[in-house]
Structure 1
Amino acid sequence: MAETPAPAALPLALSGPLMFADEFDSGALDRGKWNVVGPEFWVNNEQQAYVDSPDTVRVLPAGTIAGADGGVLALKPTFSKGFETPSGRPADFLSGRITTRDKFDFTYGTASARIKMPDAQGVWPAFWLLGYGEWPASGETDIMEYVGEKDWTGVALHGPGYSGETPLVNKYFFRDDTDVTDWHVYSVDWTPDQILFKLDGHPTYRVTRPMVEHYGKWAFDGPQFIILNFALGGAYPFKTNGIEQPYNGIPEATVRQIQRGQIAMYVDWVHVEQLSSADR
């Protein structure tokens, strides 16, 4: 049977002007745009500690990573046996997490990032938005989550009445000729009435206000900021792969890949565009 051709790509954005852009071409992380999170942050039984280090958060020059348009942000986990956080929590892995909290946030628009991820079971890189205040009332928009099965990525919404094991979740399975290790644009179109997730411009999951309000209050009328992070193991990978040893959600093969420096999440650029007047 002949393969059905893929539909033409849809626009990646809602056609408004840029509110935020980082092409990662300056040779260093722009601290005017981004905060680097430290080891005091810990959730979901993740196995890493976040640190502000060039070993875990770096900007690579143009030409370093094939297929990138220019410079690239690399969030790269490392193995550090016996590391302890200031609170005394042991963590044999270090990794990177950056946010635009209190530096840039927005209400409604298109957020997109061009990302390339590793083939490694039990990793948990993500690109997402988070509101201010107490979670989950603050609202959370997960534009891309990857837990180490390279043929799919996930999206989700979290808010009051639909958090944690949220019913507002979906997986996108790639065509046979591509997977997460290729460059892809992950994006969300956010309007007052719906949230539309896209991959390479193609809609993958739509959540409307009535869908959300079936479970609880719509938590998406206030500002949210951007997060890029590379977690390891913990709740979501473990629930997917069931691996308990040597680390929760992380197999020995992935530990060895990290020790050899073979795992990173690469981000070519991040953009946020305003809604066009027709979408308001």
Structure 2
Amino acid sequence: MRSSLLIFLLLFLSFSTTQCAKSKDKSNTKFETLVWYDEFDIPGAIDSTKWFHQTQLPAGGDWYGGLINHYTDRLENAYVKDGFLNIVAKKEVFNDQGEIKEYTSARLNSKFAFTYGRVEVKAKLPKGIGTWPAIWMLNKNIDEPGAYWQKQGFGTTYWPVCGEIDILEHWGKKQNDIQSAVHTASSAGDDVVNLGGRLIENVSNQFHIYSLEWYKDRMVFRVDDLVHYTYKPDSIENPEIWPFNSDQYLLLNIAIEPDIDPSFIEDSMVIEYIRVYQ
């Protein structure tokens, strides 16, 4: 188990590095101060002060994109063990909200939201055709019944106008192919054009660090510190292409698509840590 000493050292180093950066370079933004994190040190259920289980089905009884799973708040689908968060997709018949589905998983919303900064997530991804794990962000103003920030009274804007940032998406039918994307009113869903990715060996057998740097005028996406996509529109004054000037929150989930391999039984997205710097 990582001790509180590690967090103290991270905070100390972040502060020290920030002071050096300020003295050396006042013209460029430096995201060096650790402002929020989860090191998954406490075994058992997720930390309810940091995370919210989103389980409410959208109108119609299915999750967006024709997904065929329930998201639950059970330990079987999300738990911390040995210093790692496990988000588990399972093949099982599950009856909830009047709908019977044959797969379960978890969808977590962070109770922390922020504007601009660097996100780092060290993760290992599940395997299996039809699995769709994601590490992503939504504006806390999204009008989505059942989401954490909607319940806090912030739901005023429909998707994709609110803006979505996909730090990582992975489809089991394209093993080792990872993608990052930016969804806006002008580029969303199946018609999204603001995206980039690369092949990464062993995404399901080894941990990799997936990161985003979100500036006032651009976003930079990396895996293990290598850039694979930069989103920098011509204008940030147009909300149809840049709705990214207000707070966003983090989401973690594994979705199950209709083409899931019939032999799939269970697999996990395993996360060692999540850190946000500003």
CA distance in 2, matches of 1:212, 1:251: 42
What is the match of residue 89 of structure 2? Answer: 77
CA distance in 1, matches of 2:229, 2:235: 12
CA distance in 2, matches of 1:14, 1:95: 36
State yes or no: 1:265 paired with 2:269.
Answer: yes
Structure 1 unaligned blocks of 5 or more: 1-12, 62-70, 234-247, 275-280
What is the match of residue 124 of structure 2? Answer: 116
State yes or no: 1:166 paired with 2:180.
Answer: no
The percent of aligned pairs where both chains have the same amino acid is 27
Residues 64-122 of structure 1 show CA distances to partners (whole Å, capped at 9, x for unaligned) of: xxxxxxx00000012222x2321x3321111111111xx21010000110000122111
Q: Secondary structure at the match of 1:170?
A: strand
Contact kept, 8 Å, 1:36 with 1:52, in 2: the verdict is yes
Q: Secondary structure at the match of 2:234?
A: helix
Aligned to 2:180, which of 155, 173, 177?
Answer: 155
Contact kept, 8 Å, 1:21 with 1:270, in 2: the verdict is yes
CA distance in 1, matches of 2:108, 2:165: 16
Decide whether aligned partners of structure 1 residues 196 and 211 sit closer, same or farther in structure 2, where only a CA change above 3 A counts: farther
Decide whether aligned partners of structure 1 residues 17 and 271 sit closer, same or farther in structure 2, where only a CA change above 3 A counts: same
What code does the residue aligned with 1:51 have?
T
Of Structure 1 and Structure 2, the greater strand share is in: 2
Pairs aligned (count): 227
What code does the residue aligned with 2:271 have?
V
Contact kept, 8 Å, 1:145 with 1:153, in 2: the verdict is yes
Decide whether aligned partners of structure 1 residues 266 and 205 sit closer, same or farther in structure 2, where only a CA change above 3 A counts: same
Residues 21-77 of structure 1 show CA distances to partners (whole Å, capped at 9, x for unaligned) of: 10001113110010011142522111110000000010012xxxxxxxxx0000001
4+ aligned runs moved over 4 Å, structure 1:
211-215
TM-fit CA distance, 1:180: 3.8
Q: Secondary structure at the match of 1:182?
A: coil
State yes or no: 1:95 paired with 2:105.
Answer: yes
What is the match of residue 64 of structure 1? Answer: none
TM-fit CA distance, 1:212: 7.6
CA distance in 2, matches of 1:14, 1:193: 14
CA distance in 2, matches of 1:40, 1:187: 29
What is the match of residue 36 of structure 2? Answer: 20
What is the match of residue 22 of structure 2? Answer: none
Aligned to 1:31, which of 37, 48, 51?
Answer: 48
TM (norm. structure 2) is 0.77
Decide whether aligned partners of structure 1 residues 91 and 14 sit closer, same or farther in structure 2, where only a CA change above 3 A counts: farther
Contact kept, 8 Å, 1:125 with 1:147, in 2: the verdict is yes
Residues 115-146 of structure 1 show CA distances to partners (whole Å, capped at 9, x for unaligned) of: 00122111001000100232111110000001
What code does the residue aligned with 1:126 have?
A
What is the match of residue 215 of structure 2? Answer: 191
CA distance in 1, matches of 2:30, 2:54: 30
What is the match of residue 10 of structure 2? Answer: none
Structure 2 unaligned blocks of 5 or more: 1-28, 143-157
Contact kept, 8 Å, 1:119 with 1:181, in 2: the verdict is no
Residues 147-187 of structure 1 show CA distances to partners (whole Å, capped at 9, x for unaligned) of: 11222111110011111121101221125xx4343100001
TM (norm. structure 1) is 0.76
RMSD: 2.0
